[in-house]
Structure 1
Amino acid sequence: MQLFHRYKIEFRLETNTFAISNLFQNPTIIHHAQVIQQAINTIHTLDNSPWSPLHLVLARASFAQERIYLDEQIRFSFNKTMINNMYVIPLLYQISSMNDHVSITRLHHAFASVITKHNILRTTLYVDTNGTITQHFLDTNIIPGDHMKLYGLTVVNIHNDDRHYMYEIIEKILNQADLFDLSKGHVINCHILRREQSNQSFTQNNNDLLNKDDLILFTIHHAMFDGASTSIFIRDLSLAYQSNGPLPVEDNSLQYIDYSVHEHIIDMSLSQEFWLLELKGYNLTHQLSLPADRQRSSTDQQRSGLASSAQITFDSETCASFLNYASSHHLTLFQLGLSVFYVFLFKLTHGQTDLCISSINANRYRSELVNMIGMFVSTLPFRVELDPHWSFDEVVEYVQEKCLSILEHSHYPLQHILGDNRLNQSNVSFLEIIYDFISVSKDVEHLCLNDVNLEQVSLEQLVKMSKFDFSLTFEHTPLSDNKKLSCNFVYSHDLFEKSTISQIVQRFQYMFEQLFETKSSNTPMISMNSSINKLALILPDEAEEMELVVFQRLENIVNDGMIVCTLIYCFIKVVVS
């Protein structure tokens, strides 16, 4: 996927002339060069004019913004939800060296400079008098003078070195009722978490400096920001801090509001036909038979938003086996992980073959969108109809073709898919289970402020929020010295107990190890040519317990039989005598 997007940027290619399926059908570099040349030649015969800036300050919200705005209002209203900010994206960084220092004043200027450059970070979102969800970005020349308050930069002094105390403070920040105000364009904040200096009183000079173990927390509303925006934000913040001046802004640069307008006038009739055919015959309100502890009421579709997580970190051999399989079969890691998840759901639901879940797509389908901060991500249904007799190799091939066909139509909005099927977002079963695969970028793991290196801090230990009932996310760190593969299950407290998920996670790991066995593993490996029916979810200790129960029952049957025979013998003896 990264190579596909790199080619599109470097050679200015568009989806209608250059598709990712071309790369999988032609896996060598020489073939890639030929495919790219053909796409370039095709461009000259097609109308591929770039999107132009429209110099607007007000327009209809994008499809992605509309989806998030409505979902937050409908599924996560405050009368049941215990969490205020379901759509917050937190980014936490920590100074790691004793000799490094960061100026708060300079950081604030850099932060303001990034907001000035990217209009989307000072954009309001509201419903106008016609009932249309509208975005309106604020002109920097007429913004009120209290920049510190507007940009949400706050300093919190931490008087306790205990890490749990720090996480409690972060949780409180993330759950602040006034963290965001979309109607006023308050969509991003910078929070300084400074540890108390034990051995000195601050002077005017060093009071401005952050030191080792101090933290910087950014909170951004998801309606204005997505995962791919992170590296752009970090890059521009670093540049602004280093220059200690405003970032260059091109007057004719395309802004997110321009994208929203262009998006609404795209002809999507072919994609509409694709999605109607893709979901034909599927009962979109039918729930998969997951082993939940509670069922959601058909009349009450609101969520508490509370969730927990369980993680598996695979050893290096298992990781290598997984990566080698993907490489040898010309698969993306996303496709292979999704195939594993489908097979697991097939086994977990006792053989359901018509499976539909959700996954997300970056949806930056044009070169103009690659370096833009904003919310582009599309949430889409991924439906498969498995054959129980297929081998895992056959499942993988089928899932790969499915992913490639969906990718060509990933820009079609979820609300259109639901509307075409006369459904709404609150009662669709595929939106309850979601899958994703994340390759962690080095650009996101580190924030560099004028040669001061800040490392990203995981927020896994915080109380989880979940917009879905059940999710699986693989995470791969390809650029680190110790390449790591892990997967994270997040589950809603509305439906699942911790003990149930613990068992589900154990079953998943056991099945995963059957597929990607290593020399040091004691798990019996299944042939990739064998039927997926042969994969086992019954854990070894459960199998032993079942064998023991069966043996005891047989023993009881034998004993009972001997007693019966003795009684019959005695009865016959009495009768004869």
Structure 2
Amino acid sequence: MIMNQYLQSSVTDDEGELCVGGVGVFAGYLERDDLTAKALVEIDGEMFYKTDHQVKLRGQRIELGEIERCLLKTSISACVVVKWNDDHLVAYVQTSDIDEVQLREHCQSHLPPHMIPSLFVILDKLPLNPNGKIDRKLLPPPNFASMHLTNPHEHLLPVNETEVIIHHIWCDLLKQTQISTNTNIFTLGGHSLMIMQLFNRYKTEFHLETNTLSITDLLRHPTIIDHAQLIHQTMNATNNINDFHWSSLHIMKASFAQERIFLDEQIRFSSHKTTMNNMYVILLLYRISSMNDHISISRLQHAFQSIIRKHQILRTALYLDTNGTII
């Protein structure tokens, strides 16, 4: 409903505030009664939510005031955060002694990723209306083309095959031609949904299993270098076949007849230890030349395990003591 300043329903063509009620209305701000009093109003015993600076961005509800209060804990004198073109959060900051890098690092330490502004606009003075409040209509339009230039470090190129692939994916999603490998993706307009897109692209490009890579880790380490290291760690953990617990295959003890064959062959080849070993120890070697072969080590390992579980003879073992005698 639309209410006037006296909490009465506005008539046709009158201005008023939009109030929303129902089960979706929140209970108030934690330990901030002053903000709760401004945002919530009781009408006929029911709580209504008045007009406020809450926005919805990529499915997430965001209180712009929380971001502003976070920024005001630095040395800045004033700020305002707005949603621009339904795509980005832009923070306008009045300061002369702190730069964008410091502001972004502060936000990353105190806010979740979806609440970190894509761009920080540093102004000598924020525009004010006749009432002394910040006039949002007079804020200058942000220059999103400069976002990829905000990184103070030197431009780093990919140094290995993994970084090259990741760099190509980033450029494709962010519509860029070059991105330094130490650039934070959020400074380029990246967001949490884009991290999920990267997650799915990485699984396809690097043939990763579903549970081997974490979206949370990608959010916490938002550079090409970081993502390459995470993928290397994931692939190394997946490729370690020696970590497999052979007890899960239910190894079976050889039968009496099989043990007798083994003893007979020990006598026959007693003078040819190498021949004897080759008969009972069969080595298999598979060479994978590069990632371009599209081989999933974990799937290959799973295939071997499935075959071993299916065929009992492959799970049959001779138990020997240190002298080579059957136990």
Q: Which has the higher strand share?
A: 1
Bigger RCO (CA 8 Å, 6+ sep): 1
- Larger Cα-atom Rg: 2
> What TM-score results when the alignment is normalised by the length of structure 2?
0.24
